[in-house]
Amino acid sequence: MLLVEFGLGVGVNLYATLPASDHGKGLLPAFGRAVTGGQIILTLHALLGTILLITGVSAVVRAALTRQPVLMTVTGIALLAIIVAWLSGSRFVGDMANGSSLAMAIATGVTILSYALILFIVPGTTTRRAVP
């Protein structure tokens, strides 16, 4: 989902035109405008970002149930990065600033790195050699 979201974000940045009337909108009105009045690629990007936010919360809850501090920390970092990306995306609709776009991309990279790191942290995810 993260890679699809990143691809949609690049597509929005390169090909979507945001109406000048959206300039200066607050976070929630900008998000609402992206979902209801934006081009389809922007709508998909905003909705998938929201789904990622929900799955990030789910990952933190599941990590907390394992009681593994490192796993809880890494999923917490991933969730924080998703929140930063979501807020930056809403801000981007309102201000169309390059800084908001860059913040989304960097936060997405941090999230992908965090979830990839989990593959090395969780016990039983590494391959084991058979004992001769």
pLDDT tens-digit map of 94-111: 777 889 889 999 999 999
Tell me the whole-structure pTM to 2 decimals.
0.81
Nearest alpha-carbon partner for 112 in 70, 83, 69, 81: 81
- Tokens representing residue 36 in the block: 């209801």
Is 16 among the domain residues? no
CA distance 98 to 88: 10
Is 75 among the domain residues? yes
pLDDT at site 19: 64
Mean pLDDT for 34-57 is 87
pLDDT at site 81: 97
Is 129 among the domain residues? no
- Tokens representing residue 14 in the block: 């390169």
Q: How many domains does the chain have?
A: 1
Mean pLDDT for 66-75 is 92
Residue 123 predicted with pLDDT over 80: no
pLDDT at site 96: 77
Percent of the chain's residues with pLDDT above 70: 83
16 close to 89: Cβ distance less than 8 angstroms: no
**Residue 72 vs residue 124, higher pLDDT:** 72
The amino acid present at 72, given as its one-letter code, is: M
Domain encompassing residue 33: 2-11+24-121
